[in-house]
Structure 1
Amino acid sequence: MLPHYFRALVLGSSGTIGSAIMRFLESHPHCEQVIGLNRHSVPAINYDAIDSIDSAYEALKTGSRFHLIMNTIGALHSDHFMPEKKLADLNASQLNQQFMTNAIGPALCIKHFSQLIDPAGGIYANLSAKVGSIEDNRLGGWYSYRASKAALNMLIKTA
């Protein structure tokens, strides 16, 4: 539960979902401050430059604590690859990129940014995907995306 007045941090604030959440929080009458981090913000956060996570944390750690942190960063595909439709399409480069974007980057964000939650209480939320469910996965395909989201879901469950 959030306090009546709260501070928020949105990771991935320039994406479709992240920018919508930013607009909502900026117009919310009880959100005292919202900070958005993305590839172009200062400080920046970019999973292709994994050290940026630590740098962004270092830049924010001396400020006021947050009551809400939302990580909206994730990707199903990119300009370089699309979801695999069959096992023959699976390749190491795509697996590596999907795990970096959908599991490793978010895990390192949990490690660092969860320390910025107000000690009196707060919420840290990661967006994931139902297709990352091991129990409910009847469709097949999208192998690297599904595996990376399953890894993220396990990291969240055990954090």
Structure 2
Amino acid sequence: MSPNHSHRRHLLITGSTIGTALAHCFAQDDRVEKVTLTWHSRRPETTSAKISTTQMDLTDDEAVHHTLSNLETLDGVINAVGFLHGSGVQPEKSISRTNPSSFLKNMEINTLPTLLLAKHSRHLLKASQAGSFSSISAKVGSIEDNRLGGWYSYRASKAALNMVLKTLAIEWGFALPKCTVAALHPGTVISPLSSPFTANSNKHLFSPDESASHLKSVLDNLTPQHSGRFWSWDGTEIPW
């Protein structure tokens, strides 16, 4: 953990497969006193006394406000919630497969939560000695890196997420100069989100714990000078 993050005592992490792994990874750090892990439909299993869980709908402005208003302090936010497929929604291989409901579902889950979390955590992070705010994005959200096409709604929602984080970093560079804002690419993680698309993949697959460990290393080495950028699991920068 970098000197600027030595005060990261209380973290809020939004639940998912990778979110739960991140919560346990940070809970092992002696400098972290408490992790609040949120969940929506299924309470995650936790094994650390440092981790408390709370239910929250990240797409509901009032619900996010209520949860954050009950926190006395906060030193970091990591949004790890994401959506790729489910309930009849699949990534589109062709523009002919796009439809409004699938597009809006991707935007609602992949983009909106970061806006609401930033909106309602601002006052807490402003009071922190060295706050951090990050969201799990995806390399396919990079416009410059897009060479394969497809996955219109998912790509667009992650590109929109990246724009939210970049814009937030500019605003908070003035309003919260001690806070670091980052987009994170976790690599291809073994999870319900990725499982239908990794059976024949030749990419290296990370377990949630492996990915969480990589991402913690990245976050531990970021300072406000790194704010407003897009980081891969191995610490390399990804173009927007």
The partner residue of 1:96 within 95, 104, 107 is 104
8 Å Cα contact 1:6/1:67 also seen in 2: yes
Distance 1:151 1:37 in 2: 23
Does 2:58 match 1:56? no
For residue 165 of structure 2, what is the aligned residue in structure 1?
A: 156
Deviation at 1:146, TM superposition (A): 0.4
In the superposition, the TM-score normalised over structure 2's length comes to 0.59
The runs of 5 or more residues in structure 1 that have no matched partner are none
Distance 1:5 1:111 in 2: 20
The partner residue of 2:6 within 3, 8, 12 is 3
Does 2:151 match 1:142? yes
Whichever residue aligns with residue 62 of structure 2, its letter is D
SS of 2:77's equivalent? Answer: strand
For residue 22 of structure 1, what is the aligned residue in structure 2?
A: 23
Deviation at 1:5, TM superposition (A): 6.0
Deviation at 1:149, TM superposition (A): 0.6
Distance 1:156 1:101 in 2: 15
Deviation at 1:119, TM superposition (A): 3.3
Distance 1:4 1:113 in 2: 17
- Shift of the 97–50 alpha-carbon distance from structure 1 to 2, 3 Å rule, reads farther
The runs of 5 or more residues in structure 2 that have no matched partner are 44-52, 169-240
For residue 110 of structure 1, what is the aligned residue in structure 2?
A: 118
For residue 34 of structure 1, what is the aligned residue in structure 2?
A: 35
Distance 1:67 1:47 in 2: 19
